Amino acid sequence: MACLEVLALVLLILLPFVFFKRNSKERRRILNAVDNFNGALWVPILGTTWTQLVIPRSELFHQMYERAKKFGCVYRSWVGSEPIVHINKAEHAEIVLRSSVNITKGRNYDFMRPWLGNGLVTGGGAQWQIHRKLITPAFHFKILDTFQEVFSEKAQMLADELTNLADGQFFDFYPLMTHCALDIISETAMGVKINAMKDADSEYVKAIYIVADIVLHRWFRPWLHPNLLFKLSPSGREQQRNIRIVHEFAEKVIAERRERIEKFGIEEMSLDDVLLGKKKRLAFLDLLLQANMEKNLLTTQEIREEVDTFMFAGHDTTTASTSWTLFQLGNYPDIQEKVHQELDSIFHGEERPVEPNDIVKMQYLDRVIKETLRFHCVVPFLLRRLTEDIYLDGKLVPAGIQVSIHMYNVHMDPEQYTEPFQFDPDRFLPEVSAKRNPYAYIPFSAGPRNCIGQKFALRNTKTLLATVLRKYKVKSLLKHHEAKYKVDVILKPQNGMKLAFEPRTL
């Protein structure tokens, strides 16, 4: 292992010089532009990532937030020999996100490709555009209506699981919510039940989390960036073992679903039937396979990559948005009471599943979720590799460089939000939102590469919250300002989500 580390260091030292020599003119242009921005002290090999390596992971998010105060709304960092320009304001985020040219994801997404391939989250170019166009109909509101049955069924299972826990005692809600979200996404994405709420030790579930954790571990360690060296490292071998588990599971399901289509015919799995309103529950995978039989645009591997992407992105977003909303409601009883009143006016005490028409009526809950996601954005940073020059505050940010949009900082800009650290759902009243820059609120990104599944995520979250809050009151152990974050592929609570539930009396 010592020999491998020495080799890694040698390559890290030599590669920038080789790159500089072969691309001297373009490289010098990038370096001159980067030098115009403030930033942390650069050191050989590590760049500025040494500051992330010498602090506990628990302090990482706070450090990144504080850097904007220290270095300004636009500053630079170095990950090894790779420069990054950081963006913290809506008007700067707009320049990047509205572009139809600068849509290439940053290098950190490369580390997800062994797992997610070139799916919608990680892919780019013409292939990404083909996939996006093909997959978009699968998120039509009528398709979401067919998923509503699954949302409601699993939400009721979550509420039932809380029955024995609703004794006013605090417990970590996050694992239970994670398993519920996995049950929802496995059934809506692949059409299979993994029963994560009942079987928390699922090998597939564990594998997803191990892979995601290693992706972040690798990003802050430049010596693990070269693929060959990473594959030879212990974390690289561990990641590969778990990716194999995830892929084999998805491939097995795809083979079974394709066999079903071939057996019953394309009419049995018609996307048009769903859009015409016929009662039929199809999984995301079914819709992909059916659409692909007509156009034959996706290989089996590409279908698996999109299913893996949906499985990962779909469950983590739901877990985070639902958990953080309950956390906020547990801190603000007056706001929670308004949510209870709205739900009571919709359901009138009836114990029935949440239906699509109910979702539209949850306007106050919608504002509560939006304000929650302003504070606790699911994905804390968006990285893009520029393919076209841009200018920020009159300074050149050249093509070839990476930019990182800090969504939390954008959401906390006092120029966009009065008293930004105050939790106020009414700041998302239509007449109030209209006064802000449209890029001041970007929990699901924005522009051509916005999250295709955001309506799925929000409907799912509303169904879960409505089902739980009709039965229970919630309290938070930590105060609003005491929340600590664990920086992962998504933003998670550092020490779990300690909540307490009590039955409501109507």
Residue numbers belonging to the annotated binding site for heme: 451
Query: Which structure tokens are listed for 77?
Result: 């960092």
Query: Which structure tokens are listed for 351?
Result: 């114990």
What does the alpha-carbon distance between residue 210 and residue 489 come to, in Å, rounded to a whole number?
12
Looking from the CA of 97 toward its CB, the CA atoms found within 13 Å total 30
Per DSSP (E only), the strands in 100-148 are: none
Which amino acid, 301?
Q
Cβ contact 447:97 at 8 Å: yes
What does the alpha-carbon distance between residue 274 and residue 290 come to, in Å, rounded to a whole number?
12
Nearest Cα to Cα of residue 230 among 123, 114, 56, 80:
114
266 phi/psi in degrees, rounded to 5: -70, -30
331 phi/psi in degrees, rounded to 5: -95, -15
Per DSSP (E only), the strands in 303-414 are: 381-385, 390-392, 395-397, 402-406
Cβ contact 84:76 at 8 Å: yes
> Which residues are CB-contacts of 58 (< 8 A; sequence separation ≥ 6)?
484, 486, 494
What does the alpha-carbon distance between residue 90 and residue 102 come to, in Å, rounded to a whole number?
17
Quote the longest CA-to-CA distance of the chain.
Answer: 74
Cβ contact 69:414 at 8 Å: no
Binding residues: 451
Cβ contact 381:94 at 8 Å: no
Residue indicated by tokens 């105050």: 422
What does the alpha-carbon distance between residue 209 and residue 224 come to, in Å, rounded to a whole number?
19
Mind giving me the DSSP string for 179-228?
HHHHHHHHHHHTS----TTT-TT-HHHHHHHHHHHHHHHHHT-GGG-SHH
Query: Which structure tokens are listed for 180?
Result: 């519920």
